[in-house]
Amino acid sequence: MHAKVNDGKYSLWTFQRLSLCIILVELCRTHEDISTQDKDVELGGNVTLSCTPTKHYDTVQVTWQEKTDQGIENMAVYNKTGGNVLPTYKHRIRFVAPGLNDTAITFWNVSIQDNGCYYCIFNTYPLGPISGNPCLSVYDHLQTFLHYQIFDGHLNASCIATGFPRPNISWVASGAEKNEKEVTNPNGTVSVISSILVNVSSLKQQPICRVTHRREETDLKIPEAERGYLDPVVLTVLVLIIVVILVIIAVCCWRRHRKKRSGF
Ligand SMILES: *[C@@H]1O[C@H](CO)[C@@H](O)[C@H](O)[C@H]1NC(C)=O
Ligand SMILES: *[C@@H]1O[C@H](CO)[C@@H](O)[C@H](O)[C@H]1NC(C)=O
Ligand SMILES: *[C@@H]1O[C@H](CO)[C@@H](O)[C@H](O)[C@H]1NC(C)=O
Ligand SMILES: *[C@@H]1O[C@H](CO)[C@@H](O)[C@H](O)[C@H]1NC(C)=O
Ligand SMILES: *[C@@H]1O[C@H](CO)[C@@H](O)[C@H](O)[C@H]1NC(C)=O
Ligand SMILES: *[C@@H]1O[C@H](CO)[C@@H](O)[C@H](O)[C@H]1NC(C)=O
Ligand SMILES: *[C@@H]1O[C@H](CO)[C@@H](O)[C@H](O)[C@H]1NC(C)=O
Ligand SMILES: *[C@@H]1O[C@H](CO)[C@@H](O)[C@H](O)[C@H]1NC(C)=O
C-alpha cells in the first residue's frame, strides 16, 4: 500500500514533467517545422509568401490567416478537393502553389492594408496543426519637398515628406521654432509637414531638413547662395562691390575717351 502511494506520486510527477516536455516541444515545433521568409514589397507591387514544411507530413488541409487589429481572419483554404479564397480576399490574393506539400499565395497590387503578418496552417494527420508565420512589410518610396520664403528677416521653411512607413523629420537649425503635422493620404501613405520659423540673423549655419525613412537619411538644404543673397549685410556688400566696379569701368572708359580725343 505504501509502495502504491509512492508509485502514484512518482507517476504524477512524471506525468507533469512529460506534459511540460510535450508543451516545450510543441512550442518549438511550430517555429521550426515550417520554413518561411518575410518579404518587403513596394506599394502597388506583387509579392508571394510561401510556407514549406521542413519534412514531409500527411496534410489534410492548408489554411491561410491574417493577423488583424480585430483578431485572426481566415483568408484561404486548400484541401484535396481544391482551394477556396474567402470573398473579402478574392481580389487581393491568389494561390500560386496549390498543394498540400507546400503552399504559396501571391498578393496583387499590394496596399497598405496588406502590411502585417500571416499564418499558414498545415492540418496534418495525425500530428495536428503546424503553422508558419511569414510577414509582409509594405513600403512606399519617399518623396520630399522643401519650400521656403523670407520676410521681415525671418526664414519660414516647410519640409514635406511622404512615404510609408511614416517618415520622420528633424531639423538641423539653431534657434528655430518648430511646428509639425501629419496627414494620412487616401492610399494609406503618410505625409509629414514640418515647418520652422527662424530669425535669419540668428542662423549660425545653413538649415538642414533631415528626413529618416526606412533607416535611410536624406538631407535637404536651403541653398547657401539663397541665404547669402538674402542676408542684408551680404546684400549691401554685394551692391557696394558692383557700384565700385561700375564706377571703375566708367572712369576707365571716360579716361580712354579723353585720351583718344586729346590724341586727335
Ligand atoms: C503584377 O502582376 C500583374 C499580373 O501579372 C502585372 O500585370 C503587373 O505588371 C505586376 N506588377 C508589378 C509591379 O510587377
Ligand atoms: C475542402 O475545402 C472546402 C472549401 O474550400 C470545404 O467545403 C470542404 O469541406 C473541405 N473538405 C474537407 C475534406 O475538409
Ligand atoms: C508531396 O510529397 C510526397 C512525398 O514527398 C510526394 O510523393 C508527392 O508526389 C508530393 N505531391 C506533390 C503534389 O508534389
Ligand atoms: C491598385 O490599387 C489601387 C488602389 O487600391 C488602384 O487605384 C489601382 O487602380 C490598382 N491598380 C491596378 C493595376 O489594379
Ligand atoms: C510659412 O509658410 C507657410 C507656407 O509656405 C504658411 O502656410 C505659414 O503660414 C507661414 N508661417 C508663418 C509664420 O508665416
Ligand atoms: C500615394 O499617395 C501619395 C500622396 O497622394 C503619392 O505621393 C504617392 O505617389 C502615392 N503612392 C502610390 C504608390 O501611388
Ligand atoms: C533678429 O535677431 C537679431 C539679433 O539676434 C536682432 O537684432 C533682430 O531684432 C531680430 N529681428 C527680428 C525681426 O526679431
Ligand atoms: C520616428 O521617430 C519615432 C519617435 O521618435 C521612432 O519611434 C521611430 O522609430 C522613428 N522612425 C523612423 C523611421 O526613424
What is the model's pLDDT at position 61?
A: 95
Sorted by where each starts, the structural domains of the chain and their CATH numbers stand as: 33-133 (2.60.40.10), 141-232 (2.60.40.10)
Strand residue runs (E) in the chain: 34-36, 39-42, 47-53, 58-68, 71-79, 82-85, 93-95, 103-107, 116-125, 128-132, 135-151, 154-164, 168-172, 177-184, 190-199, 208-213, 216-221
Planar angle of CA 107, 42, 39, nearest 5 degrees: 65
Ligand 7 centroid–CA 199 distance in Å is 6
This prediction has a pTM of 0.73
Atom of ligand 3 nearest to the CA of 99: 13
What is the model's pLDDT at position 256?
A: 83
| Ligand closest to the CA atom of residue 46 | 1
| Ligand closest to the CA atom of residue 144 | 6
What is the model's pLDDT at position 157?
A: 95
Residues with CB under 6 Å of ligand 4 are 44, 109, 111
The H-assigned helical ranges of the chain are 2-32, 224-230, 232-263
Burial (CB count <10 Å: 0-12, 13-18, 19+), residue 248: exposed
Ligand 6 centroid–CA 84 distance in Å is 32
Per-residue pLDDT tens listing for the chain (264 residues) = 344 444 444 555 555 665 554 554 454 454 568 999 999 999 999 999 999 999 889 999 999 999 998 999 999 999 999 889 999 999 999 988 777 999 999 999 999 999 999 999 999 988 899 999 999 999 999 999 999 999 888 999 999 999 999 999 999 988 888 999 999 999 999 999 999 999 988 888 889 999 999 999 999 998 765 544 455 666 677 778 888 888 888 887 788 887 776 655
Instruction: State the cell numbers at 186.
Output: 487616401
- Is the C-beta atom of 48 inside 6 A of ligand 1? no
What is the model's pLDDT at position 224?
A: 67
Nearest alpha carbon, ligand 5 atom 12:
156
Give me the phi and psi of 245, to 5 degrees please: -60, -45
Instruction: State the cell numbers at 259.
Output: 585720351
Ligand 1 centroid–CA 123 distance in Å is 32
**Angstrom distance (rounded) from CA 203 to CA 199:** 7
What is the model's pLDDT at position 203?
A: 83
What is the model's pLDDT at position 236?
A: 74
Q: For the chain, what is the radius of gyration of the CA atoms?
A: 35
Ligand 7 centroid–CA 149 distance in Å is 17
Instruction: Choose among 146, 185, 137, 193: nearest CA to 165.
Output: 137
Nearest alpha carbon, ligand 6 atom 1:
187
